[in-house]
Structure 1
Amino acid sequence: MNNKFYIIGILFLSLGFFACDDELNDLKPFTETEPSVFLTTPQNFEIAMNGVYRQLWLYYSDEASGLQGVPDIISDNVIQSQTGRRSNDNYYDLRYVASTLGAISLYWSEAYEAVNGANLIIENISNIDGTPEQDNILGQALATRAWAHFDLARIYGQIPTQSPGANTTLGAVYLKTEDGDTGSTIDDALAQPARETIASNYEEIIGDLERAAQLIDDDNGEGRLNRNGVEALLSRVYLYNGEYQKVIDAANKVTASLATAEELPDVYVDNINAGVVIELSINTTTQANTGNPVGVLYSQTSRGNTVSEYVMDFDFFNSIDATDARKDVLQFVGTNRGNDYNAIKKFLGEEGQTNGLVDVKVLRMAEVILNKAEAQFELGLEAGALASLNELREVRYSPYVAGTETGIALEDAIQYERRVELAYEGHRFFDLKRRGEGINRNATNGDIIDGTGTPPAATTLPAGNFRFQFPIPTAEINANSTIAKQQNPGY
């Protein structure tokens, strides 16, 4: 498992896309040979796909800056504990710049490594023409290429629904090769590719996903995309793109069930996968057995104490009703230096573990239902939106009383349930961003469990502020003279 695929790493390092040293070396266990020689059997293509999933897993679960943590840290879901290590404070304090360590460079480098791995699979897929596995492997490669580009576009660019002119602004570089195409731009070691518009990015992302949905199998096992996963991802991408009828259509094609209130706690300790549509798993050969340390962003355990880095925002915690099953899934009482905190529970892992070995829940059926409810509301289909929202609420509240909201109250209810349901899974920053809303933190509530303690130093990020787009990393600016002229405004 320690072999490295040097040729690919050297090729793409010369494109200027990678700030870290591992290039595409994480496509394990490749051998040191040319892709066209290695990628000749379905089994070797599956090994290559393992590498792509691993790259996605690396930037979602990174203990310092995982994509399931930092978007909540930037938003209004957390407050920084003063007895922690003050990690990620540049992000929490909203003062990140192009040279800031952590998330800014990690997301860029690891996402493009996933893209490059997917492109190699697509480029060589004709090597297994006529095999039963061909379409399914191609479907996974197309879908993961789209997935990584979608993350790049929403992190470093605007979101189409964010502002009236968002589609004309700059997004990501869409690195794309076609089936059997050995002369694509990714083979040009001297290329200095330019950022494309957000409209172009979303057209390419949706095109890849729609094609993948026609090719991919219904079941590819734990930790891999399948048809449900692609349709669920389409429901998210369509929502970001403001294509609301397509959100509904995609959501209706997802056949997974919601996790019940009784099942939900077991989902987050990996006892069951109820309601999980896309996950990045540590329990398959796609990952090194190093655990999923995303919870370290929130807390660690030391000598019986919980050393919280970030805790639940006091107002947010208290907005959750006692009849809501999610309250106990989200919070536990963490104690450190004589203080109690509303510590974050979702990533603690199994009993006895410390921020344990848990899979990354990338997309759950609950989000699919919420995507559908929001799209129905945006189309004026309030009865349908309420029915979708109540479908979720029925398995979250006990006793359950069906909601009857209309108009703005219904819209607020959809967004509230979305915030609670998806808290600490990397959504809040993007939900505020795509809706053109600002970040507003309580300027007086502190970090301790009763709301006392130290309040946040940075309390607002107005809608439209340049910091809703991350800067292009310094390493990429230095390596690519074209992109050096395309840094995001404000940086």
Structure 2
Amino acid sequence: MKKIIYKIAVLTLIIGGLTSCEGELEQIPFDELATDQAYITVSDFENATRGIYSTLFTGSLYGGSDAGGMLDAPDVLADNVTFAQKGRGSRRTLHNWQYSASSEPLSGLYQSAYRMIFRANTLIEKSADFDGSNKAKVVAEAKALRALGHMDIASFFAKMPTQSADANGSLGIAYVTKADYTIEPARLTVAESYDMIVTDLKEALVDIPASAPAGRFNKDAVNTLLSRAYLYMGQWQNSIDAANEVTTSIAPRNTVVGVWEDVSKDGVIFWIDVDPPGLDITP
């Protein structure tokens, strides 16, 4: 009898210990916020929106990278730049078209764009239970950024709709609208991909503000993207109509150089200050 009681006591301690261990493992991180805690207040959603924009800084997207990103890869691939034979060889792989689908110059862009899309989808999903005053605006921004990410991917990994007679029916991209990193979505056709890009942009236009601070989309920015999407699709009149909705004046000839030297914002519709005034970046 004593042995039985002893065994029961030991078994109880073991079970209790396992239960305690499980309780200790299921802890809320103390050095960061869990996703469910990060999307509650108006300020939370503003911060989450900035997090989507921050993906644009990625080197392989718009941040600038020797591997090539959206800032220069399109021009290098299109021979709009001259390769310096005695230089350090930057962008040589892109210039000579010596890359593969999984090589660094394009895989980084692919991953960064889908990272931005994932963040946009997370905000959109979390907004379902959010009634804050900025809900419509931040959801509109997320949809516009989701469309931008997909359009960037499509421009590299699919045919342009006007490229050939069979382009619209050829393989497009996976248009992701769920914040689930485990999914393996099928690729749509080119026509379906661009239709979804246009849908996101048109929905974003409904609630995007006419004016916005630097680093945030406004109606001009979204209409510019919409005009480009229509241009790629060969819908010329729609492209013209969207472009005509842009109110930002074209930069006069004498200030164009200043725009490239970053001393003028004439004609610039959207930009992000990576070194805003007053920011001390001295190490």
TM-score after normalising by structure 1: 0.48
Aligned mates of 2:32, 2:175 — CA distance in 1: 27
Give, in angstroms, the shift of residue 146 of structure 1.
0.5
- Does structure 2 conserve the Cα–Cα contact (< 8 Å) formed by 1:158 and 1:166? yes
- Does structure 2 conserve the Cα–Cα contact (< 8 Å) formed by 1:46 and 1:137? yes
Aligned mates of 1:201, 1:208 — CA distance in 2: 11
- Given candidates 102, 113, 116, the residue that maps to 1:114 is 116
**Aligned residue in 2 for 1:266:** 258
Give, in angstroms, the shift of residue 62 of structure 1.
2.2
Residue 220 (structure 1) aligned with residue 217 (structure 2)? no
Aligned mates of 2:162, 2:270 — CA distance in 1: 24
Q: What do residues 166-187 of structure 1 show as CA deviations (whole Å, max 9, x unaligned)?
A: 111112111104xxxxxxxx43
SS at match of 1:78: coil
Give, in angstroms, the shift of residue 79 of structure 1.
2.1
Give, in angstroms, the shift of residue 284 of structure 1.
5.6
- Does structure 1 conserve the Cα–Cα contact (< 8 Å) formed by 2:143 and 2:204? yes
Q: 1:277-316 residue pairs with structure 2 within 5 A?
A: 277-283=269-275
- Does structure 2 conserve the Cα–Cα contact (< 8 Å) formed by 1:168 and 1:198? yes
Aligned mates of 1:188, 1:256 — CA distance in 2: 38
Q: What do residues 102-155 of structure 1 show as CA deviations (whole Å, max 9, x unaligned)?
A: x211110000000001001100113431x3311111110000000000111111
Q: What do residues 366-392 of structure 1 show as CA deviations (whole Å, max 9, x unaligned)?
A: xxxxxxxxxxxxxxxxxxxxxxxxxxx
Identical pairs, percent: 34
Q: 1:351-390 residue pairs with structure 2 within 5 A?
A: none
**Aligned residue in 1 for 2:173:** 172
- Does structure 2 conserve the Cα–Cα contact (< 8 Å) formed by 1:35 and 1:120? no
**Structure 2 residue ranges without an equivalent (≥5):** 1-30
Aligned mates of 1:110, 1:165 — CA distance in 2: 29
**Aligned residue in 1 for 2:13:** none
**Aligned residue in 2 for 1:187:** 180
**Aligned residue in 2 for 1:326:** none
Aligned mates of 1:204, 1:114 — CA distance in 2: 17
SS at match of 1:224: coil
SS at match of 2:269: strand
Give, in angstroms, the shift of residue 97 of structure 1.
1.4
**Aligned residue in 2 for 1:81:** 84
Q: What do residues 406-444 of structure 1 show as CA deviations (whole Å, max 9, x unaligned)?
A: xxxxxxxxxxxxxxxxxxxxxxxxxxxxxxxxxxxxxxx
Aligned mates of 1:99, 1:171 — CA distance in 2: 17
Q: 1:15-26 residue pairs with structure 2 within 5 A?
A: none
SS at match of 1:263: helix
Larger % of helix: which? 2
Q: How many residues align?
A: 248
Give, in angstroms, the shift of residue 245 of structure 1.
1.4
**Aligned residue in 1 for 2:127:** 125
**Aligned residue in 2 for 1:256:** 248
Give, in angstroms, the shift of residue 239 of structure 1.
0.4
TM-score after normalising by structure 2: 0.81
If asked which structure has higher relative contact order (CA below 8 Å, sep 6+), I would say 1
RMSD: 2.2
Query: In structure 2, what residue type is equivalent to 1:66?
Result: G
Residue 71 (structure 1) aligned with residue 64 (structure 2)? no
Aligned mates of 2:101, 2:220 — CA distance in 1: 37
Residue 141 (structure 1) aligned with residue 142 (structure 2)? yes
Give, in angstroms, the shift of residue 52 of structure 1.
1.2
SS at match of 1:278: coil
- Does structure 2 conserve the Cα–Cα contact (< 8 Å) formed by 1:213 and 1:230? yes
Aligned mates of 1:212, 1:139 — CA distance in 2: 4
Q: 1:37 to 1:165 in 2, by over 3 A?
A: same
Q: What do residues 271-323 of structure 1 show as CA deviations (whole Å, max 9, x unaligned)?
A: 221101122331469x9x69xxxxxxxxxxxxxxxxxxxxxxxxxxxxxxxxx
